[in-house]
Amino acid sequence: MASECDVTGVGETQVGEDDTADGRSIVRRTFSSLKIRNYRLYFAGQGLSMTGTWMQGVTQSWLVYSYTRSGFDVGLIVALQTLPILLFGPLGGAIADRVSKYRILFWTQGLAGVQALTLAGLDLSGNLKLWMLYPMAVMLGFINALDNPTRQTFISEMVGDAELKNAVTLNAIMVNVARAVGPAVAGVLIATAGSGWCFLANGVSFGFVLVSLAAMRKDELMPAPAATKAKGQLREGLRYVARTPVLRDSLVMMALVGCLTYEFQVTLPLMAGQVLHGGPQTYGALTAMMGIGAVFGGLASAGRPGRGINRLVWASAAFGLTVLGASLAPSVLIEEILLFIVGGASVSFLSLGSATLQLGADPSMRGRVMALWSVAFLGSTPIGGPLVGFIGNFAGPRFALGLGAAAALLAAGYGWSRQRAKGAERSSEAQSAVARA
């Protein structure tokens, strides 16, 4: 009996040690890219800045809604902010492939800070008018047309290919932590102190990014070979994507989802104000719950290796089904719970899509490929934003969210059909090879 007890005790100790080791291993995998100093600095600076960015985005959308009570106008302001990405995003990607991304980020992040501080000055002085928001949104769009592909591809220069998937996912988590914190703070500030303080907080937050960039060790960066300036580089990027199925199919899926599903800056103010009969704090709470869900979903995704169209198809289907549920929510509480799940599904789709594109592209083409990602995902908003806002006005916010759900499910169907077609093609080629043998 004594020996049986001894054996049991040893077994229990070993299991406990294994569990602890497994737990440490999971944590290491989940946060593995943060062991790289430059990426830690970038992560911290961008985390503070993104909080301010979400504060400004929520404030801008709510100001337009409070002035006009029009879903179309909310969609229009979002569309104007992304129109330069649609028109000039590929050019921004070509520049990112030719010029030091480190230097570009100093300029784009600094100019974005100036734009935010200008809005803050106008608002806090009582001189901000509705019409002023529109050209200021366009100005930020031009900055983002160069900033977005640069930031996306700069991650690989900090961490390398081995840690890229993890870093991209942690970056998405950071953005969604900001989405959870920023809108909640903005809702309180708008209701108590005024919208100008949200713009001011965003302007100040860009200072942290500039400090983090200045503190990096440039000799530890791994810049991709610079593309030489030449005619036809934009067309070369388009042809490269067109003849690479994994890139082409991923971008088509991202375009469908980006155009109609990710219009939450349009649909959530309408849901908060018209369906749930709330104010800026309700809108902030809905956006924050979606961000919190994205954090948990991102943490789960960060520790899982893998990428590719098959996983992207499943992520898109899950995203569509959860958005469909959110469109039917009968109360604020249920809407918040469902948006928590939507957040988790959204970050899984977004991080998988970004990692699939970056790892599937040649390093010398990544800037142009990720510029097309920006066009597909953000540049499609000038079409989707006003359309979703129009549907929200005339059919109701629930139908606007439902349209987004249908787009994500359609993207999943497209990806699935393309994979089936490629599978059938490979099978036919294998049969032909056997017959020739």
pLDDT digit string, tens, across residues 348-401: 888 788 778 877 888 778 777 877 887 777 777 778 888 888 898 889 999 999
Where do the H-state alpha helices sit in 31-129? 37-68, 71-98, 101-124
> What is the count of structural domains for the chain?
1
Q: Who's near 22: CB < 8 A, 6+ residues apart?
A: none
User: Is 264 within 8 Å of 75 (Cβ atoms)?
Assistant: no
Domain with 142 in it: 33-215+232-436
3-state secondary structure of 232: coil
Q: Which amino acid is at 122?
A: L
Residue 16, domain member (yes or no) = no
Q: Is 367 exposed, middle or buried (0-12, 13-18, 19+ CB in 10 A)?
A: buried
Q: Which amino acid is at 73?
A: D
> How many other CB atoms are there within 10 angstroms of residue 259's CB atom?
24
CA distance between the termini of the chain? 67
Task: Quote the pLDDT of residue 139.
Answer: 95
Q: How far apart are CA 263 and CA 257, in angstroms?
A: 9
Q: How far apart are CA 184 and CA 437, in angstroms?
A: 66
Residue 80, domain member (yes or no) = yes
Q: Is 281 exposed, middle or buried (0-12, 13-18, 19+ CB in 10 A)?
A: middle
Query: At 78, is the pLDDT very low, low, confident or very high (cuts 50, 70, 90)?
Result: confident
Pick the residue with more confidence: 230 or 387? 387
Q: Give the residue among 47, 20, 18 at the shortest CA–CA distance from 34.
A: 47
Task: Quote the pLDDT of residue 122.
Answer: 95
Query: At 161, is the pLDDT very low, low, confident or very high (cuts 50, 70, 90)?
Result: confident
Mean pLDDT score, 397-414? 95
Q: What is the DSSP letter of 215?
A: T
Residue 378, domain member (yes or no) = yes
Q: What is the DSSP letter of 34?
A: G
Q: Looking at the predicted structure, is the pLDDT value of residue 147 above 50? A: yes
What SS3 string covers 274-314? Answer: HHCCCCHHHHHHHHHHHHHHHHHHHHHHHCCCCCCHHHHHH
Q: Looking at the predicted structure, is the pLDDT value of residue 185 above 80? A: yes
Residue 8, domain member (yes or no) = no
Task: Quote the pLDDT of residue 436.
Answer: 61
Q: Tell whether pTM > 0.85.
A: no
Where do the H-state alpha helices sit in 364-396? 366-377, 381-394
Residue 381, domain member (yes or no) = yes
Residue 28, domain member (yes or no) = no
Share of the chain above pLDDT 90, in %: 35
Task: Quote the pLDDT of residue 184.
Answer: 76
Q: Looking at the predicted structure, is the pLDDT value of residue 427 above 80? A: no
Residue 17, domain member (yes or no) = no
User: Is 70 within 8 Å of 393 (Cβ atoms)?
Assistant: yes
Q: Is the dihedral of CA 79, 80, 84, 87 positive or negative?
A: positive
Residue 272, domain CATH: 1.20.1250.20
Q: How far apart are CA 100 and CA 36, in angstroms?
A: 20
Q: Which long-range contacts (CB under 8 A, 24 or more apart) does 275-283 make?
A: 275/396, 275/397, 275/398, 276/331, 276/332, 276/335, 278/332, 279/191, 280/58, 280/62, 280/186, 280/187, 280/190, 280/191, 281/187, 281/188, 281/191, 282/187, 282/332, 283/58, 283/62, 283/183, 283/187
Q: Looking at the predicted structure, is the pLDDT value of residue 14 above 50? A: no
Task: Quote the pLDDT of residue 414.
Answer: 94
User: Is 137 within 8 Å of 60 (Cβ atoms)?
Assistant: yes
Q: What b/e sequence results for 282-301 when a residue is b if at least 16 CB atoms lie within 10 Å of its CB, and e otherwise?
A: bbbbbbbbbbbbbbbbbbeb
Residue 13, domain member (yes or no) = no
